[in-house]
C-alpha cells in the first residue's frame, strides 16, 4: 500500500467509525490494524528481523488477535501483559518480557511464560538467572546513552535514566554475567528516522563482542514504520548484527501498529460562543486520552480545518477546567449533535 492509499484508508475508516450505534465510543478499525501490521511485517521481513508487537501501546484482546496474523510474537512489560499475550499467542509466536523492575514473585511468574526475558540491571539479571530453569533466554536492557527525544519525559536515555544498564557502566565490569544471551535496547519515541537506530546499534558493538553466548538482539520500538519511511538503515543494522554475531534480531514497535487504527468517536453536546471562539462540549473527556492532558498535545480530528477557519475549542464534559482536547480552526462551525472522531487515538 503506498502512502496515498494508506491515508485514504485511514480517512475512510475514520468516517465509518462515525456511524457507531452510540457515543462516546472507542473504535478500532480492523482494516487499519491489518494494513499497519502488514506494512511493518514487510519492513521486518526485508530487513531480516522478527516483528513483535509491544502490548503497552494497546492490550485489547481483539486488537492483539487481529495483529497476530502478521507478527512473530509479543513484547510484554508486566506479568499482566505477559498473561494476556500468552492467552492469544499462536503456536510458534514468541513471548518477550521486560520491565524496569520485577519482584522475585513477578520474575518467577514471568519465567513460567516467557521465551525471552530482558532484565533492567545486573542485580535483577542475577535474581532471574538463579530462578530460571533454562527454558527462558535471558538478556539485559542496555542504555546506549544516545538521546534523540527532546522531551526528557519520553527520553529513555535522559541523564539519570532508570532504563537499562549504562554502556559506560558495563565497560567497567570485568566479566559479563553468566548465562547472558541477549541484549535489548529501546531509546527513541515516535521517530521517523531509522538512522538513529543505526547509531544506537553501532554504540553497542564493543559490548556485543564481549558476550560469549550472544543469541539475540532486541532493537526495541520507538519508530514509526510507515510506507514513506527510508528503511535502509534498519536493513543495514540487522544485516550487520546477523553476519557479525550470528544472532536473531527483533524489533518491538507498539505505536506504529495501532495508533492510526484507533478513533475516539464523540458527539457535540453543546456549542456556545466565548470571546470569538466556539466552545464545544463533547460527550467524552481527555481522561480517556491522558497524554492529551498531561503532555498538552492537541490530537488530530476528523473535521477539515482551514487557515481562516472558525476558531473552536473542543472540551471534555468533566468539571475539570483543563479538560480540553485542543483549539482548532475548522472549515465549518460545529453543530450540536454532530459527531467528531478524535483520530490517531489507538
Ligand atoms: C521497552 C519498550 N519497547 C517497546 C516500546 C514501544 O514503543 P513505541 O510504542 O514507541 O513503538 C516501548 C515503549 O515505551 C518500550 O518501553
| CATH number of the domain to which 114 belongs | 3.20.20.10
Identify which of 55, 117, 56, 57 has the alpha carbon closest to the alpha carbon of residue 87: 55
Q: Which of 220, 229, 295 to mutate to test the pocket of ligand 1 (most atoms within 8 A of CB)?
A: 220
Proportion of the chain above pLDDT 90, given as a percent: 91
Residue 43 or 297, more confident: 43
- The 10s digit of each residue's pLDDT in 154-184 is 999 999 999 999 999 988 888 899 999 999 9
> In this structure, how many other beta carbons lie within 10 angstroms of the beta carbon of residue 271?
16
Mean pLDDT confidence for 225-230: 92
Q: How many domains does the chain have?
A: 1
Does residue 69 form part of some domain? yes
Mean pLDDT confidence for 19-36: 96
Cell of 140: 539485559
Does residue 144 form part of some domain? yes
The Cα 140–Cα 301 span in angstroms is 40
Does residue 105 form part of some domain? yes
> Has residue 7 got a pLDDT over 90?
no
Asked if 135 and 111 count as a contact pair (C-beta separation under 8 A), the reply is yes
Strands 137-143 vs 94-98: parallel, antiparallel or unpaired:
unpaired
- Ligand 1 neighbour 186 (Cβ under 6 A): yes
Does residue 240 form part of some domain? yes
The Cα 97–Cα 95 span in angstroms is 7
202 CB-near residues (< 8 Å, 6+ apart): none
> Sign of torsion, CA 84 90 96 102?
positive
- The 10s digit of each residue's pLDDT in 110-137 is 999 999 999 999 999 999 999 999 999 9
The Cα 179–Cα 176 span in angstroms is 9
> Has residue 74 got a pLDDT over 90?
yes
Cα–Cα separations (whole angstroms), residue 334 to 261, 278, 280, 285: 24, 8, 7, 17
Ligand 1 centroid vs 220 CA: distance in angstroms? 6
User: Which pLDDT score is estimated for 291?
Assistant: 86
Ligand 1 centroid vs 185 CA: distance in angstroms? 10
- Ligand 1 neighbour 262 (Cβ under 6 A): no
- The 10s digit of each residue's pLDDT in 187-226 is 999 999 999 999 999 999 999 999 999 999 999 999 999 8
Residues in the chain: 346
- Ligand 1 neighbour 187 (Cβ under 6 A): no
Largest CA distance in the chain: 68
Identify which of 149, 189, 139, 145 has the alpha carbon closest to the alpha carbon of residue 169: 145
Proportion of the chain above pLDDT 70, given as a percent: 100
- The 10s digit of each residue's pLDDT in 256-286 is 999 999 999 999 999 999 999 999 999 999 9
Which residues constitute the domain of residue 38?
30-258
Q: What confidence tier does 142 reach under pLDDT thresholds 50, 70, 90?
A: very high
Does residue 204 form part of some domain? yes
Closest residue by Cα to atom 4, ligand 1, is: 221
Does residue 346 form part of some domain? no
- The 10s digit of each residue's pLDDT in 28-50 is 999 999 999 999 999 999 999 99
Q: Which helix (H) or strand (E) holds 169?
A: helix 167-170
- Ligand 1 neighbour 222 (Cβ under 6 A): yes
Cell of 203: 554504540
Asked if 176 and 213 count as a contact pair (C-beta separation under 8 A), the reply is no
Does residue 2 form part of some domain? no
CA atoms lying within 13 Å on the CB side of residue 160: 2
Does residue 191 form part of some domain? yes
Amino acid at each position: 500500500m503506498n502512502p496515498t492509499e494508506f491515508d485514504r484508508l485511514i480517512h475512510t475508516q475514520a468516517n465509518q467509525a462515525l456511524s457507531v450505534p452510540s457515543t462516546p465510543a472507542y473504535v478500532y478499525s480492523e482494516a487499519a490494524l491489518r494494513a499497519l501490521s502488514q506494512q511493518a511485517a514487510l519492513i521486518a521481513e526485508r530487513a531480516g528481523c522478527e516483528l513483535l508487537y509491544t502490548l503497552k501501546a494497546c492490550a485489547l484482546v481483539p486488537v492483539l488477535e487481529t495483529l497476530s496474523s502478521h507478527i512473530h510474537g509479543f513484547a510484554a512489560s508486566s506479568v499482566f501483559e505477559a498473561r494476556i499475550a500468552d492467552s492469544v499467542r499462536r503456536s510458534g509466536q514468541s513471548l518477550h518480557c521486560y520491565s524496569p523492575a520485577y519482584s522475585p514473585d513477578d520474575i518467577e511468574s514471568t519465567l513460567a511464560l516467557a521465551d525471552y526475558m530482558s532484565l533492567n540491571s545486573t542485580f535483577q539479571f542475577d535474581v532471574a538467572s538463579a530462578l530460571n530453569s533454562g527454558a527462558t533466554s535471558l538478556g539485559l536492557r542496555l542504555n546506549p546513552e544516545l538521546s534523540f527525544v527532546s522531551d526528557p519525559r519520553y527520553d529513555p536515555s535522559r541523564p539519570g535514566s532508570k532504563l537499562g544498564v549504562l554502556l559506560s557502566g558495563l565497560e567497567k565490569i570485568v566479566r559479563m554475567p553468566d548465562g547472558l544471551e541477549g541484549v535489548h535496547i529501546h531509546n527513541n519515541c515516535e521517530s521517523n528516522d531509522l538512522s538513529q537506530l543505526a547509531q544506537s546499534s553501532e554504540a553497542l558493538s564493543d559490548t556485543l563482542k564481549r558476550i560469549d553466548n550472544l543469541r539475540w538482539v532486541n532493537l526495541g520500538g520507538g519508530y514509526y514504520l510507515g510506507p514513506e519511511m527510508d528503511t535502509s538503515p534498519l536493513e543495514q543494522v540487522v544485516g550487520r548484527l546477523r553476519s557479525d554475531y550470528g544472532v536473531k534480531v527483533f524489533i518491538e514497535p507498539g505505536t506504529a501498529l495501532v495508533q492510526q487504527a484507533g478513533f475516539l468517536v464523540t458527539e457535540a453536546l453543546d456549542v456556545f460562543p466565548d470571546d470569538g471562539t466556539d466552545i464545544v462540549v463533547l460527550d467524552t473527556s481527555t481522561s480517556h486520552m491522558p497524554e492529551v492532558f498531561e503532555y498538552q498535545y492537541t490530537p488530530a480530528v476528523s473535521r477539515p480545518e482551514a487557515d481562516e477557519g472558525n476558531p473552536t475549542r473542543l472540551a471534555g464534559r468533566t468539571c475539570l477546567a483543563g479538560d480540553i482536547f485542543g483549539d482548532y480552526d475548522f472549515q465549518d462551525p460545529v453543530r450540536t449533535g454532530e459527531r467528531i472522531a478524535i483520530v490517531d487515538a489507538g
